[in-house]
A and B are shown apart, each in its own frame.
With several copies, the nearest count.
Chain A
Amino acid sequence: MTYPELSIELTGLEMNNPTILAAGILGTTGASLKRIASAGAGAVVTKSIGAIPEQGHPNPSLVALECGLLNAMGLPNPSYKEFNDELMTAKEGDIPVIVSIFGSCCEEFCEIIEGLEGADAFELNLSCPHSQQYGAAVGTDPVLVEKITRAAKTTASVPIWVKLTPNVTDIVTIGEAASRGGADAVVAINTIRGMAIDIYSGYPILGNLYGGLSGAAIRPVAVKCIHDLYRALDIPVIGVGGVSRWQDAVEMMMAGASAVQIGSAIYDNFTVFSEINEAFLTYLISRDLIIDDIIGLAHRRVEQ
């Protein structure tokens, strides 16, 4: 369903609503992404795709904790060459398909971008906390972030989003680097480094020993990052981390998010997109607000 009240334009992409499937959740196949489109998402981000096939880390690769999920998938993907087919299928969902990509150097990012012509935008994963040479390994270095972003921007004819890791002393520095590199938007946050140990045996539970924490546990951390990025940057901030209810989406937008991504919440609730959108619509209408009224509202409250 399309409601004019929920429609947004984000880095040039037209979206029915401001909820987006987060990278790595049900984003392996085109059919799965189409299914998420039917479930009401305004856009979808694919699983992160690299230059060569990756098996990812050994299982267990994801466990649910009392608070949030802990995962170390390890970026399994069939490489961009195999992924073109899935992308074509995903696009039948008739909503923007953003392809998340990762690499270890500018050349790799550019090769992938050139190899995936159908993408409506690219999200550079500079933030996966549990991959040796990819992800956060490059995403904690502002110089690399700026360089890769610029290279991607030069190569691509579609918008470039840069996804940031919270596992840094100052996320704003990294956001600024992305912005200088020409990013059309930043996405915050990827998972927080975490670990769980099996107390019966002493073994770390994840096959990779440690991984990334997501879900409700990290929402306050995401809200703070979004808040700080919104204040510092002139490009849109896309919020992600622990959104599972419409209230969470509103909170993130008030912190400064132009749209929100949803990942872990799928675990409990496949209808999370449509539920959030419906409740959000009611919220806006009943208070006679438009989306722009609430984006960044927390900043305006404090300035008063």
Chain B
Amino acid sequence: MIPVNAIIKEVIKETPTISTLKFDIKPDAIPGQFVMVWIRGVDEIPMALSHPNGITVQNVGDASETLSNMEPGDSIGLRGPFGNGFELSGQRIMIIAGGVGAAPLLPLAHQLRLKGTKISILLGAKTSKELLFEEQFSRSGEINVATDDGSKGYHGVITGLMDTYDLNSFDMFYVCGPEMMMRAVLDMLHTNSLESISQFSLHRYFKCGIGVCGSCTIDPSGLRVCKDGPVFCGNILLNSELGKYHRDVTGKKIMF
């Protein structure tokens, strides 16, 4: 599959560093799947679908900056949707989102809500202005926020917020956020023997995005984040490289 053309219809500034781009096509995706976004002449990068017809981009470098600065009428190339996506299950579930990690979790919350699932959302960010999709999430369930600087909600990391819940009353945990936050959440779930009812959406360096090149594989399973993931069950990740190291574009291990 070669990239399909998508024309930007709308750009929504979500936070000082994060924007949502809506385009003229709706890839037929399930929550948690991603697209490879080709910014012509610049780069191609993976992005979760945060909306049926949209992505939500944090400006962290070259490609994401060019994307963030796009205007309606500009166009990009899209390959996908790729990856496994979340498995929708559970009656009483918890969504744990950190930073731009909220992106793949928003369509998940919408779909679970439609199924009548009871949802608790824990939303974290560095500071209150960077909280992503707070309003949208709150329409799908009960929401609780945490900020590193205490500018809103719980002051501290998201695992602190988790402590205020009876985790055993949930039957599925959906998690996406910065690597160290995901590791902390996983460890906490593990302490409660809950890792096997959790799903984590991972980030690794993608080149092909379709399971061929091997740049995104994780240790020790050798699973491909782009094809076997990006969503993995917590028990697969427990003894994995998650939170220890990842590999850079050359394949070299980089410690967190």
A129 to B217, CA, bound (A): 25
- A28-B213, A200-B75, A201-B75 as given contacts; A35 in contact with B36, CB under 8 Å: no
Inter-chain contact A77/B208, CB cutoff 8 Å: no
Inter-chain contact A53/B252, CB cutoff 8 Å: yes
Inter-chain contact A69/B207, CB cutoff 8 Å: no
Contact with A along B87-109 (1 / 0, CB 8 A): 00000000000000000000000
Inter-chain contact B2/A205, CB cutoff 8 Å: yes
Q: Is A13 an interface residue (CB 8 A)?
A: no
> Separation in Å of the A293 CB from the closest CB of chain B?
17
Residues on B with C-beta less than 8 A from A71 are 208, 212-213
A295 to B218, CA, bound (A): 38
> Separation in Å of the B187 CB from the closest CB of chain A?
22
- Interface size of A in residues (CB-CB distance below 8 Å): 52
A57 to B211, CA, bound (A): 18
Tell which of A53, A264, A301 touches B250, judged by Cβ atoms closer than 8 Å: A53
> Separation in Å of the B7 CB from the closest CB of chain A?
9
A60 to B35, CA, bound (A): 12
A31 to B222, CA, bound (A): 4
Q: Is A33 an interface residue (CB 8 A)?
A: yes
A32 to B5, CA, bound (A): 33
- A63-B79, A201-B5 as given contacts; A76 in contact with B41, CB under 8 Å: no
| A25, A55, A60, A78: residue with the most chain B Cβ atoms closer than 10 Å | A60
Residues on A with C-beta less than 8 A from B71 are none
Residues on B with C-beta less than 8 A from A198 are 2-3, 5, 40, 77
In the complex, what residue of chain B is closest to A38 when comparing beta carbons?
B222
Inter-chain contact B77/A59, CB cutoff 8 Å: no
Residues on A with C-beta less than 8 A from B251 are 28-29, 47, 76-78, 82-83, 86
Inter-chain contact A76/B222, CB cutoff 8 Å: no
| B43, B206, B207, B222: residue with the most chain A Cβ atoms closer than 10 Å | B222
Q: Is B118 an interface residue (CB 8 A)?
A: no
Dominant secondary structure at the A interface: loop
A270 to B226, CA, bound (A): 14
Q: Is A73 an interface residue (CB 8 A)?
A: yes
Contact with B along A54-68 (1 / 0, CB 8 A): 111011111111000
Inter-chain contact A62/B210, CB cutoff 8 Å: yes
Residues on B with C-beta less than 8 A from A54 are 250
Contacting residues of chain B (182-212) with chain A, CB-CB under 8 angstroms: 206-212
Residues on B with C-beta less than 8 A from A201 are 5, 40, 75, 77
Inter-chain contact A34/B222, CB cutoff 8 Å: yes
Contact with B along A29-56 (1 / 0, CB 8 A): 1111111100000000001000001111
A59 to B248, CA, bound (A): 14
Q: Is B223 an interface residue (CB 8 A)?
A: yes
Q: Is B242 an interface residue (CB 8 A)?
A: no
Residues on B with C-beta less than 8 A from A25 are 212-214
Contacting residues of chain B (217-241) with chain A, CB-CB under 8 angstroms: 217-224
Inter-chain contact A264/B252, CB cutoff 8 Å: no
Inter-chain contact A267/B249, CB cutoff 8 Å: no
Q: Is B152 an interface residue (CB 8 A)?
A: no
Q: Is B44 an interface residue (CB 8 A)?
A: yes
Residues on A with C-beta less than 8 A from B129 are none
Inter-chain contact A24/B217, CB cutoff 8 Å: no
Residues on A with C-beta less than 8 A from B223 are 35
Q: Is B247 an interface residue (CB 8 A)?
A: yes
> Separation in Å of the B255 CB from the closest CB of chain A?
13
Residues on B with C-beta less than 8 A from A77 are 250-251
Q: Is B50 an interface residue (CB 8 A)?
A: no
Tell which of B38, B45, B217 touches A31, judged by Cβ atoms closer than 8 Å: B217
Inter-chain contact A73/B2, CB cutoff 8 Å: no
Residues on A with C-beta less than 8 A from B247 are 28-29, 78
Contacting residues of chain A (219-246) with chain B, CB-CB under 8 angstroms: none
Inter-chain contact A26/B2, CB cutoff 8 Å: no
- A29-B219, A63-B1, A76-B207 as given contacts; A82 in contact with B213, CB under 8 Å: no
A24 to B253, CA, bound (A): 18
A sample of 13 more A-B contacts (CB under 8 A), given A29-B217, A201-B5, A267-B211, is A24-B213, A26-B222, A29-B214, A29-B247, A31-B218, A35-B221, A47-B214, A56-B250, A59-B206, A60-B79, A82-B250, A198-B77, A266-B212
Q: Which residues of B approach A to under 8 Å, CB–CB? A: 1-3, 5, 36, 38, 40-41, 43-45, 75, 77, 79, 206-215, 217-224, 247-253
Q: Which residues of A approach B to under 8 Å, CB–CB? A: 24-36, 47, 53-56, 58-65, 69, 71, 73, 76-79, 82-83, 85-86, 89, 196, 198, 200-201, 203, 205, 207, 263-264, 266-267, 270, 301, 304
